Chain A
């Protein structure tokens, strides 16, 4: 389970002064459910997810992930989280197997358990054909599978996906979306950020719309449709975001 409590992140910019990348964001993600964080570029999605994964420290507020506080116990949090984004690249000079094993060891797995986990994951993701191939020789699809294997190696109860299909071709993107679904079916807590409406419609149990670092609205797809009297998610998104976008442009 993930519980964000007034999460905020401010950055200092030489030209623009203080920037509120995330401003007092609170939400809850339940096990066996997918929470979709929907927002435009620069809305604060990545910063929010980086704080949940303890890659960034909140300026104010906190979040509880699997019972651990992201500010007080960041290493415990990371041991219970699998984090995947298009920015999480592979070590090019390691083989696919070495790469996954490295993260297994960093997650504290002993060698016997690690071997079993790696064999199981490589079999399940159909990766045995390239397990000894260096990561710089892998196709995009193979790289994504290797990244998925990395997030799964320690079998974390929470999965965080930051725009995981960004820039990927349709077949590779499908591998990722089916993996996200599988995580939900296995009872994991999943949070997923994107600006692709169709992915949200297909995958998410709960949707949160974020703009200018603020969580503007959240609910199931049905609840949002009822509230804004629109069927199309893109129209709902535009209705929610436009007043804030206009105000921001005016400023």
Chain B
């Protein structure tokens, strides 16, 4: 084993990779820009759109209420609501977004309330439509406030305290530290992102260094040099591994910074997004090192597997058609780990990808099950070693290297 020769190949592949626009885009630019664009870009756009929707004065149609002047008067005085008169096609108007909602005050409502009879006020809306929901919320709040006021008046008339209706409070309190709370909420995403980006980072160089080399005619050139095929494949593999880990590291960094900026921008410090930002930035060196130590054998597994598959292809395009389905093979277990209730067990800890994804979720919450960590790390190392062994073997097969 000549480390010198592996190093020579690695250095050369690195030089070429840095000079290749496609590799720089897929390995450096995409992970750096993806999250700012997705979170800050779309986030600020969403904030702006929601703000604009809130500013709009929605038209709400009043149905009935002729014999309940006080309620109607109260509705008409509501801030930023335009109460319009009833028309027969009110349902179509809501669906066509000409009005945002309709409120139906039943006949004799005010009298019924005074006589302590129960009635129902219906609010008609377009469910899921943002502006319709805003209008409905305002009407609903007004009607509930009105109901509370009536209740208070009735209690006061009978000299009863408010505790008659609310004899005790129910309160929930979180005892888990903030990093565990945010880790439980967002830990799954970290594992998913690290795994998926290890894969996407490895994909382009894996194709370029195998099928790409065949297509460009340099495979025969390098095979005529005295370097052994094992050293050659190891040098190439190290470059693919570098790209995989580099992409994952840059992505996590970019995600942390983006969420932090987003949290600051929206000012919603208590919201989930801001919590995620705080959580990412507060990840201690121990957690970061643990996550990347676990990601290392996964990256080895991906790099070696992708290289082996891509080596079969004669051209870059053919390699792309082989490797694209691989993304789904990786995404499915990674997503499965994010499902609620899926937790790490000894059985799940030997399923590749799913195990590391689940473990990442635990690591970011600061939970270390050392026996399971040992099983996951060693089993992933075995899979990775097998994949690397296969890659070396494939590089020694003439039928693969000179497939025609």
Q: Judge whether A106 and B398 touch: CB under 8 Å.
A: no
Q: Please name all residues of chain B whose beta carbon is closer than 8 Å to the beta carbon of A57 when the two chains form the complex.
A: 398
- Residues of A within 8 Å of B218, CB to CB, are 88-91
B227 and A106 contacting across the interface, CB-CB below 8 Å: yes
> Once bound together, how far apart are the Cα atoms of A249 and B391, in whole Å?
41
- Summarize B's interface: helix, strand, loop or mixed: helix
Is B225 a contact partner of A89 (Cβ separation < 8 A)?
no
| CB pair B225 A85 closer than 8 Å | no
Interface residues of B in 349-404 (CB under 8 A from A): 398-399, 402
Q: Is the CB of A106 within 8 A of B225?
A: yes
Is the C-beta of A108 less than 8 angstroms from some C-beta in chain B?
A: yes
Interface string of B219-231 (1 = CB under 8 A from A): 0110111111000
Q: Is the CB of A87 within 8 A of B220?
A: yes
Q: Is the CB of A75 within 8 A of B226?
A: yes
Interface: B12 (CB within 8 A) = yes
Q: Does A53 contact B (CB under 8 A)?
A: yes
A231 at the interface (CB under 8 A from B): no
> How far in angstroms is the closest Cβ of chain B from A250?
26
Known: A102-B8, A105-B8. A91 touches B16 (CB 8 A): yes
B94 to chain A, nearest CB (A): 61
Closest to B16 in A: A93
What's the nearest-Cβ distance from chain A to residue B153, in Å? 83
In residues 205-222 of chain B, which contact A (Cβ within 8 Å)? Answer: 216-218, 220-221
Tell me if B127 counts as interface (CB < 8 A to partner A): no
Greatest chain A CB density within 10 A among B5, B9, B224, B225 is at B224
Contact indicator A56/B227 (Cβ below 8 Å): no
Whether the Cβ atoms of A107 and B15 lie closer than 8 Å is: no
CB distance from B375 to the nearest CB of A (A): 40
Choice from B16, B217, B226, B399 contacting A108 with Cβ under 8 Å: B226
**Is B20 in the interface zone, CB < 8 Å from A?**
yes
Is the Cβ of A106 less than 8 Å from the Cβ of B221?
Answer: no
Is A239's beta carbon under 8 Å from chain B? no
A-B residue pair count with CB separations less than 8 angstroms: 62
Q: How far is the CA of A102 from the CA of B227 in the complex (A)?
A: 11
**Chain A nearest CB, measured from B45 CB (Å):** 38
Contact of B225 among A92, A94, A107 (CB under 8 A): A107
Interface segment, A76-84, A169-177, A187-195? A76-84
A79–B399 Cα distance when bound, in Å, is 24
Assess the B220–A88 pair: CB atoms within 8 A: yes
Q: Which residues of A (47-72) have their CB < 8 Å from a CB of B?
A: 53, 55-57
User: Which of B16, B19, B226, B398: most chain A Cβ within 10 A?
Assistant: B226
Task: Report which of A55, A102, A107, A150 forms a contact with B223, defined as CB distance below 8 A.
Answer: A55
Nearest to B223 among chain A residues (CB) is A55
Q: Give the CA-CA distance A91 to B236 in the complex, in Å.
A: 14
Where the two chains meet, the residues of A that have a C-beta atom closer than 8 Å to any C-beta of B are: 12, 53, 55-57, 75-76, 78-79, 81, 83, 85, 87-94, 98, 102-103, 105-108, 134, 150
- List 12 A-B residue pairs with CB atoms under 8 Å apart, sorted by A's residue number: A76-B226, A78-B225, A78-B226, A85-B220, A89-B217, A91-B221, A93-B15, A93-B19, A94-B12, A94-B15, A102-B12, A106-B9
Q: What residues of chain B have their CB less than 8 Å away from a CB belonging to chain A?
A: 5, 8-9, 12, 15-16, 19-20, 216-218, 220-221, 223-228, 398-399, 402
